[in-house]
Amino acid sequence: MDNQRLFSWLAVVAMLFLNYQAWQLDHPAPAPVTAATTAAGATATTPATAAPGIDDLPKIPTAPAQTAAAPPPTGPAAATALPGAAPGETPGAGATVHVQTDVLDLVIAKQGAEIRSAKLLAYTKKKNDSTDHVQLFDDGSGGNLSLFQWGLRSGGTDAEPNHKALFTAAASDYILKDGENELVVPLTWTNGAGLTVTRTLTLTRGSYAIALDQHVDNAGTAPWQAYAYARIVRHWQHVESSFWNRDPELTAFRGPVFSDGLKIQKLNVEKTDADRPPKTPVTGGWAAAMQHYFVVAIVPDPKTPQQYELGVEPDKFSFTVVGPATSVGPGAAADIRSTLYMGPKIQQTLAVIAPKLDYTADYGWLTIIAQPLFKLLAFVHRFVGNWGFTIIIVTFLIKLCFYPLAQTSGRSMAKMRHLAPRMKMIQERYKDDREQLGKQMMELYKREKVNPLAGCLPIVVQIPVFIAFYWVLLESVELRQAPFMLWIQDLSTRDPIFVLPIIMGIAMFGQFKLNPAPPDPVQAKVFAFMPVLMTAMMAFFPAGLVLYWITNTTLSIAQQWRINKLVEAGDKKPKA
């Protein structure tokens, strides 16, 4: 088998595979906006709290069926009907608490302590826009609904501190000041009969993880039972695949993810009910909503069994975690803690928060190669400080690891190049007898001790590494908007002026000229056109991936050139 031909087809297959995996088109459909009437009679946009079905209070998994609490009424009577509402206070657009640390900017509604906005101050949507920050929670006013809801259920018909109850706060703004490392935000609810619940969000400087505490103080005369829950509500839309639109922000998986602590499962909301979390309680798991580069995750108490439930509607889904019953006797108190993470997929940080949470950096089926590759990149970057030069150095290290294999392959290809004239003579002599042609070619290979397949093995081995490199560059938030030098200011997107793909095409053509050419003139022209085809295909790939391919090809040319010289020198040496 002609090794050049196999190389070309393997390269084409690799490119087509990557295009199939990543280049998809998303046709956004605006999420329906539901209006609610405030006490003053004004119309205000409300989030998922107005959506029927998906915002129903979570079911209590271990208790018998109870009568569900009625949703909060609207209109002038709302102020007195909402549990926990202070006199004259309404859950309108102004009933919010603003919280800001050095990395997070949050808007928390007093109604249910629901997080309606979460901006990441260290990440902007566009590289040179310092004002438009990445937003992981949104009240849906712009059509992109994403909320975090949490609370306690009692299972009865009395008022309970769920995500529809109205809490009070001592201040409307909580700002992490210089010199402080921790910011504590308390919100309080009471039923007027001795039961008080204080929800506390504890934020830490430089951290995207928030400790969620619910302190129950029962000063009444009757015992009270609480079931803690947390929920992510998010808009979703169907994505149509396309070759031409190559925006990973649209094509990356954006949906719910479940883990039992041992493995993770991406839940496709468009599939049947079979693609859902288990119906039995799980200990040590977590629930998340994933998107390109970022993740929102609920990590409940790892020592208690939790019930996971996914609800899906035509344009939104809710992923809910419900804990077991916590009994609070008269005069007693109880604390329930969980963790909310909302931020970038920094694998080192996620691995500490919960088992397998770092696997939300989605490298696909090549995670077994991609994760060690990323760790190597991160290690080198600590010393280099530039991701472009890091890619070059790591490519050199990978090439060094494959050096013995590439050396054997290179010698075989050099010998094939040396035998090209004799192979052409055999093909011309037996062009009408394919059986005899194959026999004579095999005898020539055997006599000259040449393995025609040896040149293909390094290519076969490097294709998984190439694809793993692609996913690392596409999915690692550490490389997001990472500059290299000159005009390459974002290695995770394409070269804006297509210089790197052209350099890659030239390098591939040089490599082609060093390798043995096929005797068939038609095949030779086809293979000579391969660098042009590869250049066109790689033009829209991440610049970091093209940089890797240029470095790898350049090193291959240098190695093959040296091997060719050694083989030629060996052939000219007089035989004893």
SS3 category, 192: coil
pLDDT given at position 52: 39
d(CA 319, CA 144): 17
d(CA 491, CA 552): 17
Q: Tokens for 229?
A: 């829950």
Please give the backbone phi and psi of residue 481, each rounded to the nearest 5 degrees, phi first.
60, 25
The DSSP annotation for 312-368 comes to EETTEEEEEEEEEEEEE-TT-EEEEEEEEEEEE--HHHHHHHSTTGGGGS--GGGHH
Q: Which helix (H) or strand (E) holds 429?
A: helix 403-429
Q: Tokens for 89?
A: 């206070």
Please give the backbone phi and psi of residue 206, each rounded to the nearest 5 degrees, phi first.
75, 5
Please give the backbone phi and psi of residue 447, each rounded to the nearest 5 degrees, phi first.
-70, -40
Residues 6+ apart with CB under 8 A from 440: 426, 429, 430
pLDDT tens sequence across 380-416: 999 999 999 999 999 888 888 877 766 666 666 666 6
Domain 31-72+84-362, architecture per CATH: Distorted Sandwich (2.70)
Q: Which helix (H) or strand (E) holds 464?
A: helix 457-475
Average pLDDT of 17-36? 39
Considering the chain, what is the average pLDDT of its residues? Answer: 76
pLDDT given at position 357: 93
The β-bridge relationship of strands 96-100 and 173-175 is parallel
pLDDT given at position 416: 66
d(CA 456, CA 453): 5
Average pLDDT of 144-167? 86
d(CA 560, CA 416): 13
d(CA 275, CA 399): 41
* pLDDT bracket for residue 56 (50, 70, 90): confident
How many C-beta neighbours within 10 Å does residue 172 have? Answer: 11
pLDDT tens sequence across 180-202: 999 999 999 998 788 999 999 99
The percentage of the chain sitting over the pLDDT mark of 70, rounded to a whole number, equals 71
Is 253 a residue whose pLDDT tops 50?
yes
Domain ranges of the chain: 3-23+371-571, 31-72+84-362
Closest by CA position to 413, among listed 569, 557, 528: 557
* pLDDT bracket for residue 298 (50, 70, 90): very high
pLDDT tens sequence across 465-519: 878 888 888 888 888 888 888 888 888 888 888 888 888 888 888 777 766 555 5
pLDDT given at position 386: 92
Residue 455 CA neighbour count, 13 Å, CB half: 26
SS3 category, 463: helix
pLDDT given at position 72: 37
pLDDT given at position 181: 94
